[in-house]
Structure 1
Amino acid sequence: MIEINEIHPNPAGIKRVAVLTSGGDAPGMNAAIRAVVRAAASQGIEVVGVRRGFSGLHRGEMHLLGPRDVANTIQRGGTILLTARSRTWRTPEGRAEGARYLREWGVGGLIVIGGDGSFHGGYHLQEEHGIPVIGVPGTIDNDLYGTDHTIGYFTAVETALDAVDKLRDTGASHERIFVIEVMGRHAGHIALDVAVAGGAEEVFIPEDEKPIESVVEIVKQSVEKGKKGSIIIVAEGYDGGAQAVGDAIQAGTGLETRVSILGHIQRGGSPVSSDRILASRLGEAAVYALMDGQKGVMVGRTSGGITYTPLPETWQNSKDVSHDLYRCARVLSI
């Protein structure tokens, strides 16, 4: 029999928490907001929703959220709280204004759903004004240290893969080379997963700045083996991006080459089940972390369990791509 403890200890005496989403949106953010609100409500804790991230916080754009306010949101992409970047928040004066509003609302802790830039903003607030901050990793890039996966990553991969499958069909029909750029300014996690799942002939990621010229020979060999079309995946953070890779192939082989940049389409859409589950687990864990007296940490999921990582470590330590998967991509591309 599974024992379920519905009441979580609250040694920190938390009575009200705030939640915001910041930086780039990611599918599953709404599921995380929903989890925060409902986990808090189950413990008799009120939740204040902050609109437009830190930009809204320093302007006092806040309102109470109850369980019914987050009904029918778990399947929605984007963020119901909206998100924005704020130059004002980068100043001590802007953060002081946000802290003043949080105190006026009686908030005992802030939950920040976002990436490393958002965590920076929350960490400075805590250090300067003593308001406990818990980070929830919400970014499609999957580049935060301290968690196996970030909210939005699984959906971004599926969205990109769907596009790759469609482009492969038309590439084979016209015997063209397609160079497809996926998101990943500083990390190649999306590109690598899409390359393996999409059967790509080559993948370029920021973690391995191999020369563009290497792809020319690969494409030539693919043609000699009778392939009618080739798919090349490029992370946006690779030097020169997809356009540079496409130009090199066109110049080096003379084959018709098309470049497709998927862009922000990868951020949108309904989150897949894995993102909904991850967001639900981490949103609940963030509430319990504040109740336990935790502060200045990110809640993550590692090997199936909930972990706490100090916020500075999430951006100071790098999260490498899987070298085994990178090798697998090369081996299976023959």
Structure 2
Amino acid sequence: MSHPKRLAILVGGGPAPGINSVISAATIRANLEGVEVLGIRDGFEWIMQGDIGHVQVLEIDEVSRIHFRGGSYIGISRANPTRDPQHLENVVISLLRLNVSMLVTIGGDDTAYSAMRVEEKAGGRIRVVHVPKTIDNDLDLPPPVDTFGFQTARHLGVDIVKNLMVDAKTTSRWYFVIAMGRKAGHLALGIGKAAGATLTLIPEEFTGEKVSLKTLVDTLVGAYIKRLSYGRRDGVAVLAEGLVFSLAPEDLAQLEEIERDAHGNLRLAEVNLGELLKAQVQKRLQGFGIKSTIVAKNIGYELRCADPIPFDMEYTRDLGYCAAKVLLSGGNALMVSMQGGHFVPVPFAQMLDSATGKARLRLVDIHSTRYAIARRYMIRLRRDDFEDPHELAKFAATVGLSLQQFRLEFEGLIAAEPPPLILEPEPHPSPAGSGCPD
């Protein structure tokens, strides 16, 4: 007697608001079509060891209201089955032992890659659909399409930064706020720009090259001096945690002992970028006779398991529905996306970066109008500052340097500054009726 086939749901990577909405919607859709749903607990952690004891049957009654809450109803982990062929084999065998013929994976770029490899290894025995989740917003979707959880994380991040900005002004101090974003600066820029932070630094500024720790420090010191010359001793800088990976090898050497996760990534929580920059900036300012109060603040864990805002609640319910529906309709080897209110499947083959063999990443476009506007509102040393002798004299006087000395110390920062933003107006249409026959 053949057993009924099942649909399984698995969550990998780090938490993001909206996971439970995907689980709920997918379960409801499958159950209503007579398909049993299994929740695979803790990502790939157990099934890649051949352990099928950590699963639970999901039914409509227990999941119909979990979409309001953050976290993951079936747990999560960063366990990576692609590093060991036996682990990948164990995943496929474990799912087949559980009579699973359809798998929904929920996760970021690493989980997407694992989903691709599982589908490939299953050889048609298990159909796999991936739902893109990451507050980093760095999966390769079209520019207007966010990964789920990003908007909730940004929303709450702005609230935190808004309060820190008031505290900074009240107490005459600076905050260095480290935002999550291992490979891309979407979250840091999204928070910093919306909140009106003093400046935001993201790894994309240094794309294609390694940056010295001194450059990061001087950028922050330059912003501090510029702000101080305007009579303000306070500020908030938002920094993407992925700046660690932009640092030159000699600067990263001191981080070699830091623990790495299952995907080989530095455990960024162990790399205290904020404290590192705080100490270096204060030391540099002391050299100019300036005493500063700087507080390093990491935000990220406060955002990842937050209850989703309505945008992400609706968005993720749509994604969960589509994931289940496309599997039940015979779909396979694709990522689910919603674009302009329409379901758009993204085949796994299109997600691979031929250079890395991994899932393709989406970075902040530093040549976009959006980024150019963000830069214009930041308080940081700019090319036009060095072209204005009055401004330059004010900055130099703030730190007791001559104009020439100030140039020597800081003018190198503007080398990588993007070109100025030029907005060309659209040509006006001809007046109605002109040039038309009677």
Moved more, 201-210 or 108-117: 201-210
Aligned to 2:306: 269
Alpha-carbon shift at residue 228 of structure 1 (Å): 4.5
Residue 226 (structure 2) aligns with: 221
Same amino acid, percent of matched pairs: 29
Looking at structure 1, the residues matched to 276 and 369 of structure 2 have their Cα atoms a distance apart, in angstroms, of: 27
User: What amino acid does structure 2 have at the position aligned with 1:324?
Assistant: T
Distance in 2, matches of 1:226 and 1:157, equals 30
Change (3 A) 1:87 1:299: closer
**Letter in structure 2 aligned against 1:227:** R
Most deviating of 106-115 and 49-58: 49-58
- Taking the aligned partners of 1:65 and 1:221, their CA distance within structure 2 comes to 57
Q: For residue 134 of structure 1, what is the amino acid of its counterpart? A: V
Q: 1:86: Cα distance to partner?
A: 2.6
Structure 1 position 22 matched with structure 2 position 17:
no
Task: Specify which of 10, 15, 29 is matched with residue 39 of structure 1.
Answer: 29
Matches within 5 A, 1:100-119: 100-119=93-112
Taking the aligned partners of 2:201 and 2:341, their CA distance within structure 1 comes to 30
Of 96-105 and 193-202, more deviation after overlay is shown by 96-105
Partners of 2:239 and 2:137 in 1: CA distance: 16
Q: Which moved more, 1:142-151 or 1:20-29?
A: 142-151
Using the alignment, how far apart are the partners of 2:73 and 2:23 within structure 1?
Answer: 9
**Residue deviations 1:119-148, cap 9 Å, x none?**
222221111122211000111111101251
- TM-score, normalization by structure 1: 0.89
Other structure's SS at 1:108 match: strand
For 2:197, the equivalent position in structure 1 comes to 200
Aligned counterpart for 2:86 among listed residues 83, 90, 93: 93
- Matched to 1:221, the amino acid is K
Among residues 159, 175, 191, which one is paired with 2:156 in the alignment? 159
CA shift digits 1:280-325 (9 cap, x unpaired): 1111111122133321111112333322223354352331214322
Counterparts of 1:47 and 1:295 in 2: how far apart (Å)?
Answer: 17
Q: 1:237 to 1:318 in 2, by over 3 A?
A: same
Equivalent position of 1:188 in the other structure: 185
Q: Following the alignment from structure 1 to structure 2, what is the Cα–Cα distance between the partners of residues 303 and 233?
A: 30
What residue in structure 2 maps to residue 251 of structure 1? 283
Segment drifting more, 205-214 vs 163-172: 205-214
In the TM superposition, what whole-angstrom CA distance separates every residue of 1:76-95 from its partner, at most 9, and x where no partner exists? 11101011233566423223
Tell me how large the CA RMSD over aligned residues is. Answer: 2.1
Instruction: Give structure 1 regions of 4+ aligned residues with deviation exceeding 6 angstroms.
Output: none
Give the alignment's TM-score, normalised by structure 2. 0.69
For 1:244 and 1:144, locate their aligned partners in 2 and report how far apart those are by CA, in whole Å. 29
Q: Which of these residues, 55, 59, 65, is aligned with residue 51 of structure 2?
A: 59
Letter in 1 for 2:303: Q
Which one of 241, 244, 254 corresponds to residue 236 of structure 1? Answer: 241
Contact 1:59 1:98 in 2 (8 A): no
Task: Provide the C-alpha distance between the structure 2 equivalents of 1:219 and 1:112, rounded to a whole number of angstroms.
Answer: 45
Confirm whether residue 140 of structure 1 aligns to residue 135 of structure 2: yes
Q: Any conservation in 2 of the 1:116–1:315 contact (CA below 8 Å)?
A: no
Deviates more, 1:167-176 or 1:35-44: 35-44
**C-alpha separation between the residues in 1 aligned to 2:174 and 2:139?**
33
Question: Partners of 1:297 and 1:132 in 2: how far apart?
Answer: 9
**Unmatched 5+ stretches in structure 1:** 1-13
Q: Which has the higher contact order (CA 8 A, sep 6+)?
A: 1
Q: Aligned residues, how many?
A: 321
1:319 matched residue in structure 2: 362
* Structure 2: runs of 5 or more not aligned: 248-272, 354-359, 380-438
Aligned partner of 1:48 in structure 2 is: 38
The AA in structure 2 aligned to 1:226 is G
Q: Report the Cα offset of residue 16 of structure 1.
A: 2.8
Q: Distance in 1 between matches of 2:319 and 2:68?
A: 16
- Is residue 16–residue 70 contact of structure 2 (8 Å, CA) maintained in 1? yes
Question: How big is each residue's C-alpha offset from its partner over 1:27-47, in whole Å with a ceiling of 9 and x where there is no partner?
Answer: 110011001001112323221
Amino acid at match of 1:16: R
- Tell me the distance in 1 between the aligned counterparts of 2:5 and 2:173: 61
Aligned to 1:302: 339
- Counterpart-to-counterpart distance in 1, 2:194 and 2:231: 21
1:161 is matched by which residue type in structure 2?
V
Deviation at 1:246, TM superposition (A): 2.9
Find the counterpart in structure 2 of residue 3 from structure 1. none
Computing the radius of gyration from Cα coordinates, the structure with the larger value is: 2
Equivalent of 2:64 in 52, 63, 71: 71
SS at match of 2:301: helix
1:146/1:307 contact within 8 Å kept: no
